[in-house]
Structure formats: structure tokens, C-alpha cells
Structure 1
Amino acid sequence: MKDRCLWYDSSPEAPLSLQPLQGECCAEVAVIGGGITGLSTALHLAEAGSDVVVVEAGDIPSGGSGRNVGLVNAGMWIPPDDIVETLGEEDGERANTLLGNAPAEVFALIERHAIDCQATRTGTLHLAHNAKGEQELARRAEQFLRRGAPVELLEGEVCHQRVGTQRIQRALLDRRAGTLNPAAYTRGLARAAKQAGARMHTHSPVNGMRRQGEDWVVSTDSGHIRAARVVLATNAYTEDDWNQVREHFFPGYFFQVASPPLHTDAAKEILPERQGAWDTRMVLSSIRRDAEGRLILGSLGRGDGRPMAYIRHWADRVQCHYFPQLGKLDWQYTWTGRIAFTPEHTLRLFEPAPGILAVTGYNGRGVTTGTVVGKGFARYLLSGDDSLLPLPIRPHTPVLGKAVRSCGYECGFTLYHSGQCLRVLT
């Protein structure tokens, strides 16, 4: 097993050949971060005729945009009624509506720009791992159905056939959703943005910003951009002191493993319609197949830096629990991505200073939320209309105790996985 992200190796979309920023340039908008949010912003701005420059510290993609599970999910992590309780009626239902339609936005971009990212539109499955989980899925189903969402509770034999295991007795199918190769989707967005006229530079980490008259000057080691507006699209990979986004989330992690392609009769039973899935465990397990038939498992926590034997043991336990019919599997890939968590489990949209837009706190829903936020940012920058954003742009209080929160989450995840490995938890 090698510590390398599968999605980069299996992406049908080739990486763009881009150069670092050199010298001085001017633009209407500078976008810092070449992930899904930044590229969606740049694409929609460029299509509207705006002059936009994107700078990315590494390659496209290099952060969470290419390292996630690749689920095209609707909504936020928490269910609709909880969103309303947290945000209030008006903002909560606004978020429910716009993010409920987010998968359609993603699939429309894929179709319009012919992005070859192995997308499926057969939905996703939320799996109840015990009786309490079954009650939770019934609660979520009622809330979604009340809002007209095309969801269905699958039970008994129908559930067993859709998932490929006897361990799950109830699953919530969300037909709005699907899957994709996230690295390919991000590369496709970059290609589309470049074709629309956006200028992009990789290997150009920003080391600071300063106000100069009515503009902002964004500096890198080898150049700078002068722009009237700046978008901070760095999210979970924000580390620099100058970037105020780092004060508004605490980092968490998600690791994954992938088998070789599986084409046996037993393997064909596993998620035969290629839905992505995750369970209702306190520390969830994600399950999906890719276009070549690999089984991909994941969970919250860091895999990087841990012994391969530990990762392999965890993967064997989860696979044998859900899919014993596969026998013992080899695991070819493992990789880890970073997540921006917020205490309230909802995203934050704010303006750190006049002329600067920022976002963070996708809480593991970056593919769809980043796409929608990018489109909304473009509309706001062009017209001042924030109605396409899931939430209004408003001030937020910095997250307190970030290091303690991150450490607490990681310790909890590690203990849970250790319990799984030791068969204390099933």
C-alpha cells in the first residue's frame, strides 16, 4: 500500500500546464486558492467578462478539493431542521434550498464544460449501522420529504441489494446526489476557467496582502497582483498568519484507502448502482466504488504518519464487517485530506476587510458547497447581490480554542478506530 491519492492517478482530466506568478499584474479580482471554491469563482467571473487572476500555492488540485471522498451531496452535514434551529428560519431555509440544489449545479457545470470526472447521478446512501441510526435516518427522511426532496428510506431486502451487505437494515437514498473523481472535477473547472479567460498561476504561495489606495496588493515571492477585490478561497488549508480565514475554523482530517479494481461476482454485489455511502457511526465510515471497480473506504482522522499496518488493520476490520463475501483484500492506496470544521457545523461567509471576501467551514461538504459559493461570490462581486450564496455575508467571531478542539477531535477519532481494530466496537 502506498501513501498516495488515488484520484490523481485515476483522473481522466489531465493537469494544466501553469506557471508561477512572475512580476506585476493587475486584475479586477484576485482569487487566492485554486480549489473548487476559487475555480468556481474564477470561472463564473470570467464567463461574465470580468478580469480575474487565480494564484495557488501548489498544483491544481493540491488540497482537499482533490483528496475528498468525491460525494456530490445535497445540504449540509446536519439535517434541515437543525440548520434552521442553528441559523434561524430565514437563513436556515435559504441554506436548505440552495445547498439542496447544489448537486444539480455541479452536474450542470460538468455537462456544460464536458468535464470528464467519472460522475454518477444515482444518488447517495446514508446507512444506519444500528437501531439508533435507523431512528436518525427516519428523522432526516421526514425533514427532507417535508421540503419536497426526492429521498426514500430503503429497508430489508431492498436495502441489502442496494448496499451489498446484510449488516445494514435501513438506508436513506437521496436521489439528488451522486459521486465523482474530485481531482478530475477540479482540473476540469480549472480548464474551463482558463478557456473562459481567467489567468492562473500555480506554485505561487501568497505571503501577504497590503492596501494601496483603493486596491489590494497580493504578494508572492516572485510577483504581485494589484486588484480591487480579493477572494480568500483557502479554507481548511489556510495556515499563514496574514490570512484571517485561519481564525474561523479548526482543522480536522479524513483518511481513505482503496483496493485494486474488483470484478468478481461477489464484488458486483457491492453498491451495484455506484451510490456513494456513509454510515451513522459516531465516527463515520465512508464507502464507495470508483469507475474501475475499486472499493474505497474512509473515516475521520489522520492516516498520514500512522503505520501502514494500523491503516490496513482498520480497513480489513471495516471491510470484513460489511462485506465478508469479498474475502481478504489487498489495499493499494491510502491518503489523507483536511476538513475545515466550525463549532456550529455550518459554513461562514464574511468580509475580513473592505474589498475582501472569505469563506470557510464546509464541514466535509466541499464539492457542492464550494461550487455554489463560487457562483454566489461571482454574482456578489459583479452586482452586489448575495442571493446565490447559501448564507448572507456577515461578521463572525473567531473560533476559540482551535488547537484544543482539533486535538480533542483527533484523539476521539483515534480511540474509536482503535476500538474497531480491537473489536471493542463493531
Structure 2
Amino acid sequence: MSENYFPLEPSLWAATAVPPPATTPLDGSIQADVVVVGAGFCGLSTALHLAERGVRVVVLEARQIGFGGSGRNGGQVIPGIKYDPSEMLAMFGPEKGQKLVDFAAGTADTVFDLIARHNMNVPLSRQGWIQGAHNADAVKLAERRVRDWQKQGVAAKLLDRAEVSRLIGTDKYLGGWVDPRGGGVQPLSYVRELARVAQAAGVVIHTDTPVTAMAQQGGKWTLTTPRGQVSAERVVLATNGYTDDLWPQLRKTIIAANSFQVATKPLPESLRKRILPEGHVTSDARNLLLYYRIDHTGRLMMGGRGTFNEPDPAQTDNWSHLERVIGKLFPDAAGIGFDYRWCGHVAVTRDYLPHLHEPAPGLLIDIGCQGRGVGLQTRMGQAMANYLVSRKAEDLPVSPTPIKPFPFFGLRRFYVGAVVAYYRMTDGGV
């Protein structure tokens, strides 16, 4: 793993999260039934659900709990995946498609149910997720999505221009829709609480323990770290946007795009009553989407795409595009000032679907959060745990597929740059 990754500390989440549970680096040789690589949403959810089934689990994390995307995202718990129910049914057929629809429909429920069941200390709200429509095509998209999810029994609601303006606090959208299942959490608190609960269930977590090699012999895997080894019958890789070269070609199956975020100073009460006054979280339908919410400290958090390169924390200009957006959407907040700027990786697959791989006996890989990792990866961990115990393929939402790198992976920055430039042109201004 590169030593140049943007540190976690400058973020709003690092400043306001609950303390992490006590962990130590691995020192020596130990055994487990399953070893999980990566202490993020997916890895810890997998570990917790396995431990609740009586499985001995060890989690190895190269840095700290939630160091990757799980501690850096916008904290929005949005149900579903990129594709709508009708698209999933068309892609996979009525049986497999409906299974994926049902899985995607329950991602937000899984998060909030876990928090409630284990009495986690996680600031949260669940007033719904609004997707604003910035042009006529986006309005049509909202209409389709409402129809799709209403057919699945969801109380989705179409919003006209006046309603979306009142609920978001800006007149920049022509309409939109609201999904009542969505909400927001303090994501670093959530992943740290997942770790605490997993430990209480018997999971052993070692942080500052990068895996440097893995090999299988005699039906068992051995994972080597700087100061020790873990032997286990099964391995789960759950590193997503921070995937390195531990398993051949895996890193080349995703674009690890950067998601930039800023948080204002606490809003004065007059603004707090006008910007997202009912506590919704929101993102829009742009290809280069903007996502924003008010957190539990009363700050307005804004996120969106930025440069492909890892940003220099001292160069605040890397975040200036998001600061300008806040001023355009909410002119009264233009001079409020900013307390935090941070960045994290989003693992985007070629088809925008979550991918599972089983490239060797006893090895299960999850990759591809697509920007909806809070719910998607929590529920994926639950499904993977069920599968590892049952060995029944029907417990997985998607079938494992071969590892297929992006073609011409070395040119990905050129391709991403071209696509971003095109989307900026076609999305239009705020």
C-alpha cells in the first residue's frame, strides 16, 4: 500500500468519531477458520456475521479500522445500486434479477438494523434520500425510478420543483424523488462500532498489519505479515478502493476514483432551518454527481469528484470546486467558511456492479462499492458470511465471476480524464 495516501485525520469524521476499539499489530503465528483482509464495512460485517455463526475469524488491516473508504465516505446510506429494478430484471432475468433487486433493496435496512440491534454509538438520521433532477432528462429518470421502486413495494415519491426546493433549500433543481429508506450515519463511528461489536462476538482484529504474501498449501492458506503469519482454511479479501497487488490482476479490475469532500463550519440556526430542514440526505442525478447533507454537528458536508492524483493536504485548491458549488446552491452559505477537507477512494467496476471472485479454492473476493458502500458493503458482508457457512450459491446476490482487468489499464487516467471532461460539459453548471 502506498505511503502517500491522504491521511484520515483532516476529515470531519476523524474529528468527531467515537474512539476505536483497542487493537494491536499481529506478532507471531496464529490460526483461524477464516481470515479477512480489510477492516472496513465489508470485512467487518463478514467477520461479525461469521463469528455469530461460531466461526473463528481473524481480521488483518494494513492501517487502522476504517482507514480506507469506510472512514472517508459521505456517510449517506442509500438503498439500491446504480441500476434500477427494471434494469436489473432485464440484465439478469426474472429469477436472478429479482434476487439482486431484493438484495439491493435491503442494503439500508441492514445498516440501521445492525446499529439498533447492537446498540451502536453512531450518530444517525433516517429521514430519506432525495435525488435532485438538474435537467429534463433527470426528471424523466426520477419518474422511472419512482415507478420502479413503487412496484417493489417502496413508498417512493416524486417531487415537483417546489417540493424539492423546500426540502433541499435551493432552487437549482427542476424536481426529483425521495426514497424513505435512505439516511445518514457518521461513517467512521459506524465502522469502529462494527469492529467493537465484532470483537465482542469473538473476532480477533490486528491493525497496522499489512499482508505481504499469501499462499495455499495442503488445503490451508498462509498469510504473511511483517511480524507474523495467519493460517486458515478460507480467506476473504475486502480491500475495495485500496486494493493493492496482493492477488494478481485484482487491482486492475477497478478504477479507484477519488471522492473529494468538504465540511463547513457549523451553520447558524437561520441557515440550518432552510438547508435540508427535515434532515434528508441528498445527491443529484449528474454523471459527476454532487452529494451533500447536514451532519450531527450542524455542518454542511459536500462531496464530489476531483483530480485522479492523490491530493496534497496543503493544497486546498484541490477542494475549491466543491466550495464554489456550495456558494452556488446556497448563496447565503457562501461565506460560512470551511473546517475540514478530505478525500477517499471509490472502487468502480467496469459494469458498475459489485463483483465477487473465487479465483482459488477457499478464497472469496469482494470488490466494487460504486459509491454506495455503507449499505452495499455491509449487506454484502452478511451475504458472504452466509455463503461461507452454507456453501450455497443462492446466498450470494451475484455469482462469482473470473477476474477481468480493465483493458489498457495503464491508460486509465487518460480515459477517466476524458470521460470527466465530457461529463462536465454535458452535465451543465449548478
Q: Name the counterpart of 2:397.
A: 390
User: 1: distance between equivalents of 2:329 and 2:98?
Assistant: 36
Corresponding residue SS for 2:394: coil
Q: 1:336: which partner in 2? A: 343
Amino acid in the other structure paired with 1:326: A
State the 1:410 CA deviation. Answer: 4.0
Of residues 317, 320, 332 in structure 1, which corresponds to 2:324?
317
Q: 1:408 aligns with which of 399, 415, 424?
A: 415
SS of equivalent residue, structure 1 residue 387: helix
Secondary structure, in 3 states, of the residue corresponding to 1:370? helix
Off by >6 Å, runs of 4+ in structure 1: 414-417
Establish whether residue 290 from structure 1 lines up as the match of residue 288 from structure 2. no
| Other-structure match for 2:370 | 363
Decide which of 26, 29, 33 is 1:28's aligned counterpart: 33
| Aligned counterpart, 1:214 | 219
**Contact residue 262 and residue 342 of structure 2 kept, 8 A:** yes
CA contact (8 A) 1:207 1:240 kept: no
Give, in whole Å, the separation in 1 of the partners of 2:337 and 2:315.
12
Letter in 1 for 2:382: K
Tell me, yes or no, if structure 1 residue 52 matches structure 2 residue 57: yes
1:373 alignment counterpart: 380
Change (3 A) 1:193 1:20: same
1:76 aligns with 2:77: no
Partner of 2:286: 281
Residue 7 of structure 1 corresponds to 13
Q: Equivalent residues in 2 for 1:1-400 (5 A)?
A: 4-11=10-17, 13-302=18-307, 304-305=311-312, 308=315, 310-311=317-318, 313-400=320-407
- Deviation at residue 248 of structure 1 after TM alignment: 2.4
Query: Quick one: distance in 1 between partners of 2:231 and 2:414?
Result: 38
Q: Tell me the secondary structure at the aligned position of residue 256 of structure 2.
A: strand
Kindly provide the amino acid, as one letter, of the partner of residue 371 in structure 2.
G
Distance across 2 between alignment mates of 1:189 and 1:356: 23
CA shift in 2, pair 1:90/1:398, >3 Å? farther
Contact 1:178 1:275 in 2 (8 A): yes
Query: C-alpha distance in 1, partners of 2:126/2:151?
Result: 23
Distance 2:402 2:54 in 1: 29
Q: Provide closer, same or farther for how the CA distance between residues 50 and 313 of structure 1 changes in structure 2, counting only shifts above 3 A.
A: closer
Question: Quick one: distance in 2 between partners of 1:208 and 1:91?
Answer: 36
Gap regions ≥5 residues in structure 1: none
Distance 2:211 2:227 in 1: 10
| CA RMSD across the alignment | 2.2
Shift of 1:241: 4.5
Further displaced range: 368-377 or 384-393: 384-393
Q: Report SS of the residue matched to 1:86.
A: helix
Evaluate the alpha carbon distance shift between residue 197 and residue 87 of structure 1 in structure 2; reply closer, same or farther with a 3 A threshold. same
TM-score, normalised to structure 2, is 0.92
1:293-342 CA-partner distances (Å, limit 9, x unpaired): 10111112337238745345313321122111224221111111111111
What's the CA shift string for 1:364-395, capped at 9, x where partnerless? 11111111111111111111124343212343
Change (3 A) 1:116 1:413: farther
| Separation in 1, partners of 2:314, 2:428 | 21
Sequence identity of aligned pairs in percent?
Answer: 36
Q: Tell me if 1:425 matches 2:426.
A: no
Secondary structure at 1:332's aligned position in 2?
A: strand
Distance between the aligned counterparts of 1:225 and 1:20, measured in 2? Answer: 12
- In structure 2, give the amino acid aligned to 1:343: R
Alpha-carbon distance in structure 2 between the residues aligned to 1:157 and 1:309: 35
C-alpha separation in 1, matches of 2:319 and 2:371: 23
Q: Residues 85 and 47 of structure 1: is their aligned pair in 2 closer, same or farther, counting only changes over 3 Å?
A: same
- State the Cα distance separating 1:249 from its structure 2 match: 1.7
Amino acid at match of 1:365: R
* Aligned-partner residue type, residue 252 of structure 1: A
Return the offset for 1:52.
0.6
Aligned length: 421
| TM-score computed with the length of structure 1 as normaliser | 0.93
Partners of 1:416 and 1:248 lie apart in 2 by 22
Matches of 1:189 and 1:305, distance apart in 2: 30
What is the rounded CA distance, in whole Å, between the counterparts of 1:160 and 1:267 in structure 2?
Answer: 15
Inter-partner Cα distance in structure 1 for 2:315 and 2:272: 24
Q: Runs of 5+ in structure 2 lacking a partner?
A: 1-6
Structure-1 residue corresponding to 2:4: none
| Residue 116 to residue 52, structure 1, CA distance change in 2 (3 Å) | same
Give the distance between the partners of 1:101 and 1:70, measured in 2 at CA: 17
Local SS of the residue matching 2:359: coil
Moved more, 301-310 or 22-31: 301-310
